[in-house]
Amino acid sequence: MDNYFDSKEYSKIDFTKTNIKKGDYDNCIFINCNFEGIHASNIQFVECEFIECNFSNTILKGTAFKDVNFINCKMIGIKFNECDPFLLQFSFTDCQLNFSSFYQLKIFNTNFINCNLQEVDFTEAILKCAVFDQCHFKEAIFERTNLEKADFRTAFNFNINPEKNVLKGAKFSKHNLLGLLSEYKIVVE
């Protein structure tokens, strides 16, 4: 039988040295914990917060994130597309998400606030109503991505081809419109 952990706080735990217990974590807070490169598969996190944690290259196959907040976390190279998609809901604030993958994920209303999303793969993802506030997208991949009503007004360094992505109702500012035109090799001064 799986373990159940409710309303617990975990601080400064190095899970590369102490194995994380498989089970259900409900309303738990993880502060300054190291998950780097571990197998954290088939764990369920519900209404949890991760603050200043390192998830770089962590394997999350079958892991559930239901209403989870990541704050100031290092999450480089994460395959979020391998997470359990059922009721998947998370938000990211001040996170490093470079080289991660959201391939084919359906993540509505997801907030990315002040995140580094360089070379992130959003291919075929459904990101309706997502907010990308002050996010850096250098070389991020948007192919057949549904970005209906997404907010890119303060995002920068993105390259989104309007012919290959769904952008109905998406919001952009006049300062970042070049990210929609770069495919056409237009010079705007």
Instruction: Give the tens place of pLDDT for each residue, 141-173.
Output: 999 999 999 999 999 999 999 999 999 999 999
* Mean pLDDT within 39-56: 97
**pTM, 2 dp:** 0.93
User: What Cα–Cα distance (Å) separates residue 73 from each residue in 70, 115, 143?
Assistant: 6, 10, 26
Name, in order, each residue with C-beta under 8 angstroms of 152's C-beta and a sequence gap of 6 or more.
Answer: 132, 158, 170, 171, 172, 173, 176, 179
Give the CATH number of the domain where residue 14 resides: 2.160.20.80
Question: 6-19, pLDDT tens digit by residue?
Answer: 999 999 999 999 99
Residue 66 has pLDDT above 80, yes or no: yes
Q: How confident is the model at residue 102 (pLDDT cuts 50, 70, 90)?
A: very high
Q: Are 124 and 143 in contact (CB under 8 A)?
A: yes
Alpha-carbon torsion (115, 119, 148, 102), positive or negative: negative
Q: Quick check: is 18 in a domain? A: yes
Q: Quick check: is 2 in a domain? A: yes
Looking at the chain, the whole-number percentage of residues with pLDDT higher than 70 is: 97
Give the number of other CB atoms < 10 A from CB of residue 18.
Answer: 10
For the chain, the average pLDDT equals 95
Looking at residue 1, its pLDDT comes to 40
Q: Quick check: is 49 in a domain? A: yes
Q: How far is CA 13 from the centre of its chain?
A: 23
> What would the DSSP string read from start to end of 32-96?
S-B-TT-B-TT-EEES-EEES-B-TT-B-TT-EEEEEEEES-B-TT-BGGGS--TT-EEEEES-B
d(CA 80, CA 73): 14
Residue 189 has pLDDT above 80, yes or no: no
Q: Are 128 and 150 in contact (CB under 8 A)?
A: yes
Question: 165-185, pLDDT tens digit by residue?
Answer: 999 999 999 888 778 877 777
Q: Quick check: is 48 in a domain? A: yes
Question: 80-94, pLDDT tens digit by residue?
Answer: 999 999 999 999 999
Q: Quick check: is 73 in a domain? A: yes
Please indicate whether residue 1 or residue 51 has the higher confidence score (pLDDT).
Answer: 51
Q: What count of Cα atoms within 13 Å lies in the side-chain half-sphere of residue 47?
A: 6
Q: Quick check: is 176 in a domain? A: no
Q: Quick check: is 83 in a domain? A: yes
Q: Are 169 and 149 in contact (CB under 8 A)?
A: yes
Q: How confident is the model at residue 188 (pLDDT cuts 50, 70, 90)?
A: low
Return the CA Rg of the chain. 17
Owning domain of residue 27: 1-101
Q: Quick check: is 4 in a domain? A: yes
- Domains in the chain, number: 1
